[in-house]
Amino acid sequence: MIHRWKIYNLERIKSDGMVTKVTYACESELNQARTREIGNIALTTGSASDSSFISFSSLTEDNVLGWITGSINTSTFESANSASIAIQLNNLAAETTEEGTPW
């Protein structure tokens, strides 16, 4: 099972570039089965005047992923995706017919 964490969007304050909301996802796959779990997190701590502040234009996906994985229980998302994929694979294995043409 492969789990990939991705950042889909950042909401920020125009005046200082402070990120206030992150939309993220855990995308998982195994063989022919894929699924994803999307979430949002509001960032309520920090300030643009903090010494560790990273300007919006300098942010990397790894920076933001660090915020997310440090703030949520990633195993909950990965477990939910693993269960979904297990169901998909069981359903695929139970199929007795196929569609298509030989050319």
Residue 22's domain comprises 2-46+60-91
Residue 50 has pLDDT above 90, yes or no: no
Identify whether 14 is part of a domain. Answer: yes
Identify whether 51 is part of a domain. Answer: no
Averaged pLDDT score across all residues of the chain = 92
**What pLDDT was estimated at residue 71?**
87
Identify whether 74 is part of a domain. Answer: yes
Number of domains composing the chain: 1
Who's near 50: CB < 8 A, 6+ residues apart? none
**What pLDDT was estimated at residue 4?**
96
Identify whether 103 is part of a domain. Answer: no
Percent of the chain with pLDDT over 70: 100
User: Average of pLDDT values for 41-65?
Assistant: 88
Rounded to two decimals, what is the model's pTM? Answer: 0.82
Identify whether 42 is part of a domain. Answer: yes
The amino acid at 76: T
Identify whether 100 is part of a domain. Answer: no
Identify whether 65 is part of a domain. Answer: yes
